[in-house]
Amino acid sequence: MKSHVLRPLFVVIFLLIAGLIVRHFLIPDGFGTHERGYMYGWHNKNDEQFWKNFPVKYKSSDYCNDCHNDKHSSIMRTPHAIIQCENCHGPALGHPDSPPKLPIDRSRAQCLRCHYPLPYPTSGRQKIKSVDPDEHNPGTECSSCHDPHNPDLEGIKS
């Protein structure tokens, strides 16, 4: 056969081989179909480790209890026992080394998340005591009178 007929074939074969070589270096080793098959599982296996190694920031109240046992045991005797320390004090990652102190959310908005009056008959919200923030000492931090660690009225600050 004449060479001008074969030449495009050689070009195609060369491009194919070049493409395969480039592909080999570009695609990471972990790529494959893996457990969930081609449609749902085609991915780089190494990426699963990236998500497993993501830092944990919320350590839970048990972690706080190791040092702040007094505070922890006192709040456990109140209706606020169900609230995690970190919900108001922020995530404890690195504490007590860095940051040595955790910022406390004392805002009225933080208390109103649960204690704003929403009369919703089919939600758990209805069972929580509430105040109208526009009438109940507006502009004052709740914690200046109430103790969030002892929210019952006998725990009120004088």
Partner 1 sequence: MNRRDFLKYSAKGIAGLTLPLSTIEIVSPGEIFADKGSGTRWVFLVDTYKCTGCGLCVKACKLENEVPYEANVTRTWVERYVLTKDGKVWADTPKGARDGFITNKIDLGEGRFQDIKNEDIQKAFFVPKLCNQCEYPPCVQVCPVGATYQAADGVVLVDRNWCIGCGYCIMACPYGVRFFHPVYKVAEKCNFCYHRINKGLKTACVQACPFGARMIGNIRDPEDPVSKVIRNGRVGVIKDEFGTMPQVYYIGLSREVV
Binding site for partner 1 (CB under 8 A): 31, 34-36, 39-44, 47-48, 50-58, 60, 82-84, 86-87, 90-91, 109, 112-114, 116-125, 128, 133
Instruction: Compute CA 83 distance to the chain's CA centroid, rounded to the nearest angstrom.
Output: 16
Shortest distance (Å) from residue 45 CB to partner 1 = 9
- Nearest approach in angstroms of CB 47 to partner 1 is 4
Min CB(139)–partner 1 separation in Å: 15
In whole angstroms, give the CA distance from residue 146 to residue 79.
13
Q: How far apart are CA 122 and CA 120, in angstroms?
A: 6
Task: Say if residues 94 and 56 touch (Cβ distance below 8 Å).
Answer: no
Residue nearer to partner 1 on the CB measure, 4 or 113: 113
With a CB cutoff of 8 Å and minimum separation 6, the contacts of 135 are none
CB of 7 to partner 1, least distance (A): 34
CB-based contact 51:76 (threshold 8 Å):
no
| Helix (H), strand (E) at residue 20 | helix 3-26
5 or 54: CB nearest partner 1: 54
Which residue, 35 or 97, has its beta carbon nearer to partner 1?
A: 35
Beta carbon nearer to partner 1, 20 or 109: 109
Give min distance, CB of 103 to partner 1, in A.
12
CB closer to partner 1, 44 vs 74: 44
**Closest to 85 in 3D by CA, of 100, 77, 75:** 75
Distance between CA atoms of residues 86 and 152, nearest Å: 21
